[in-house]
Structure 1
Amino acid sequence: MAVNGINGTNGVAHRSSSRVVKPGIYAPIPTFFKPGSEDLDISPFEAHVVRLAKAGVNPLLAGSMGEGHHLTHRERTTLIRAARRVLDAEGLTEVPIIAGTGAGSTRETVELCKEAAAAGADSAIVIASGYFAGVLAGHKQALKAFWREVSQESPIPVIIYNYPGAAGGIDLDSEIITELACECPNLSGVKLTCGNVGKLTRICATISDPSFESLYPRKNPKAPFLVLGGFTDFLVPSAFANAHGAITGLANVAPATIARLFQLAEASVSDRSVLPEAQRLQGIVARGDFTIAKAGISGTKFLLEKLYGYGGLPRKPLPPIDADVAQALWEHPDTIALVKVERELSGKLQS
């Protein structure tokens, strides 16, 4: 495998061409903390990364679900190294790692991209800071300049993270995203946590056109520009729009189910005989996504505790989920239906 030099200052070689983000399902992995101290709890983190990877779901570290905003630079790189180490130890050497590298300034974002690459990340995902959203939200050129400079300076490909809820309401439209994709060869995708299916369709109309690759080649030819949803409630429609999968918090709770839905959605584009099953599973997943997403990070961690025996609390000042709300979430028909399917599918994987 080719080695494209040494990144960062710690002498770690990063094989930037060996692993790339491909179409599929990615989960923003929660960061687990030790009770009381709130220090990183690496053991359940490693177990969870492996559990998901074996189910066909790839990791995104230090994202919104991973409380990246609450992590120091050192903690972010600790998580990346731990994930790479445990994946390799399990023989999952080709599983790529996406790392959240969003920060307040362009300068710090670039710094985080370089640190992530040196630690073993294969791609970065970058959100605009919402602190000065009042200035940035309506300033198209400033927003484009941010991702242009970050992608130019990053040693690994960069994914645009469009999440208005975590960026002070900054919501990139399809025009800005498409222009960035055409103008910045080290951009390798977008995650649309805005949940806008029309926007996804418009972007795919350009990105997935056969001419795009030749007109706008990527810096790394093996890392194409991917259009990824931020939820799983529209995986089937997005497959028919020629999108490339999703980065979704729900895959932490039901990895085998989400991976199976993606497979069915992709297959149904050319084989209509599997479309009814894809639509059936899509309905279960869409209802589960709607219900569980509202419970946020603390709700996801609660469900992981119930299902797998680890989860814990978010880092302060995020509050834990209220006990009554947690019980209602666990007993909700949408959660019950999703957990039932997940247990059935994960049992087949293990048998």
Structure 2
Amino acid sequence: MQSLIGTGVALVTPFKKDFSIDTEALKRIVCFSIDGGIEYLVVLGTTAENATLSFNEKEIVIQTVIEANNGSLPLVLGVGGNNTAEVVQELKTRDLSAFAAILSVSPYYNKPTQEGIYQHFKAIAEASPIPVILYNVPGRTASNMLPATVLRLANDFENIVAIKEAAGDIVQSMKLIKDKPKDFLVISGDDMIALPMVLAGGAGVISVIGQGFPKEFSEMIRLGLNKKPDEAFKYQYLLSDSIDMIFEQGNPAGIKQVFMSLGISENIVRLPLVIVDDLLAKRINDFVIKINNQV
């Protein structure tokens, strides 16, 4: 899965003021990411607000991204949930021919044991016709997929090819990198520690901020992969304030404000999320102006 090395971005779903999907804005975001040097695109991840999208709306998002991408970059589709049978059914019935892999989150809310997590992903691996990227994000799922469980899955199933590791724990990430099978990819799910993870041997990042500043962020990761830390950290420190800001009042409210400041899309989110407050919006806007004046 060499195509998944580097920077992937977890695309937002832009909305119009009436809360309908803004397909033209989504196309602009896809093209902005492609033009900025991103390596691949992730469709219908958490950042896409897929929890508030209907089945038909998800289909609209998928088809819009496929059309806008036009074969330029590999695509990864978010297919996950806390009902194993439902995820398996989706994998058996959905057309996945346009996608290089699926990204599947560890079951949320149920708080399964490590054995339950293993059995969940065993069922997914056996059902999926394309490679599987595990997604560990304890801050959202309320359970941590431990390295031993990840490594067990990686060794037992050839089509489990990577993990998006978003525990925010560099030590846990290093344990995965140290003990993983040779071709298994450890991908950062945290923008702030993506570069340290890459320098430790990680394969890149699935990023939120990367779609707002694709040229700078993807270049940082490429420099990290090429073991040029001094050059890479210049970008890290250039962007670090923006990473803090976009998560300060929730994701994707922050990154949508970045797109608003860039003139690409509206800063509309669906309840229960709300847009960032005026003070944060001004800080984000000021940062966008500053970056555009520096590069």
Q: Which structure is richer in relative contact order (CA contacts within 8 A, separation 6 or more)?
A: 2
Q: Could you tell me which amino acid in structure 2 is paired with residue 75 of structure 1? A: E
Matched, 1:75 2:57: yes
Query: Once the 2 structures are TM-superposed, how far is the Cα of residue 60 of structure 1 from its aligned partner?
Result: 0.8
Residue 86 of structure 2 is aligned with which of 91, 108, 120? 108
Residue 199 of structure 1 is aligned with which of 168, 172, 195? 172
Deviation by residue 1:86-141 (Cα, 9 ceiling, x = unmatched): 221xxxx25111111112311211233345543622211111332322xx1xx111
Q: 1:230 to 1:65 in 2, by over 3 A?
A: same
Matched, 1:304 2:282: no
Q: Could you tell me which amino acid in structure 1 is paired with residue 176 of structure 2? A: I
How many aligned residue pairs are there?
293
Give the conservation status (yes or no) of the 8 Å contact 2:43–2:78: yes
Q: Could you tell me which amino acid in structure 2 is paired with residue 69 of structure 1? A: A
Give the conservation status (yes or no) of the 8 Å contact 1:235–1:261: no
Query: Once the 2 structures are TM-superposed, how far is the Cα of residue 21 of structure 1 from its aligned partner?
Result: 4.1
Find the aligned partners of 1:244 and 1:307 in 2 and give their Cα distance. Answer: 29
Query: Once the 2 structures are TM-superposed, how far is the Cα of residue 319 of structure 1 from its aligned partner?
Result: 1.6
Q: Could you tell me which amino acid in structure 2 is paired with residue 140 of structure 1? A: Q
Find the aligned partners of 1:83 and 1:163 in 2 and give their Cα distance. Answer: 25
- Note the residue ranges of structure 1 that are not aligned, 5 or more in a row: 1-18, 214-223, 346-351
Q: Could you tell me which amino acid in structure 1 is paired with residue 33 of structure 2? A: L
Residue 20 of structure 2 is aligned with which of 32, 35, 39? 39
Superposed, which structure 2 residues align to 1:239-318 within 5 Å?
A: 239-267=198-226, 269=227, 274-295=228-249, 296-318=251-273
Superposed, which structure 2 residues align to 1:199-238 within 5 Å?
A: 199-207=172-180, 212-213=181-182, 224-238=183-197
Residue 126 of structure 1 is aligned with which of 104, 116, 119? 104
Give the conservation status (yes or no) of the 8 Å contact 1:113–1:124: no
TM-score by length of 2: 0.91
Give the conservation status (yes or no) of the 8 Å contact 2:17–2:266: no
Q: Could you tell me which amino acid in structure 2 is paired with residue 309 of structure 1? A: I
Larger Rg belongs to: 1
Q: Could you tell me which amino acid in structure 2 is paired with residue 44 of structure 1? A: A
SS of corresponding position for 1:104: coil
Residue 28 of structure 1 is aligned with which of 10, 14, 24? 10
Find the aligned partners of 2:145 and 2:25 in 1 and give their Cα distance. Answer: 35
Deviation by residue 1:25-69 (Cα, 9 ceiling, x = unmatched): 011110012222x22221110111121012122211111110111
- What residue number does 2:276 align with? 321
**What is the RMSD computed on CA atoms of the aligned residues?**
2.1
Give the conservation status (yes or no) of the 8 Å contact 1:163–1:193: yes
Q: 1:323 to 1:128 in 2, by over 3 A?
A: same
Find the aligned partners of 2:92 and 2:240 in 1 and give their Cα distance. Answer: 36
TM-score by length of 1: 0.77
- Note the residue ranges of structure 2 that are not aligned, 5 or more in a row: none
Query: Once the 2 structures are TM-superposed, how far is the Cα of residue 326 of structure 1 from its aligned partner?
Result: 1.9
Query: Once the 2 structures are TM-superposed, how far is the Cα of residue 199 of structure 1 from its aligned partner?
Result: 1.3
Give the conservation status (yes or no) of the 8 Å contact 2:14–2:266: yes
- What residue number does 2:122 align with? 148
SS of corresponding position for 1:132: coil
Find the aligned partners of 1:101 and 1:118 in 2 and give their Cα distance. Answer: 10
SS of corresponding position for 2:252: helix
Q: 1:202 to 1:117 in 2, by over 3 A?
A: farther
Aligned-residue identity in percent: 20
Matched, 1:49 2:30: yes
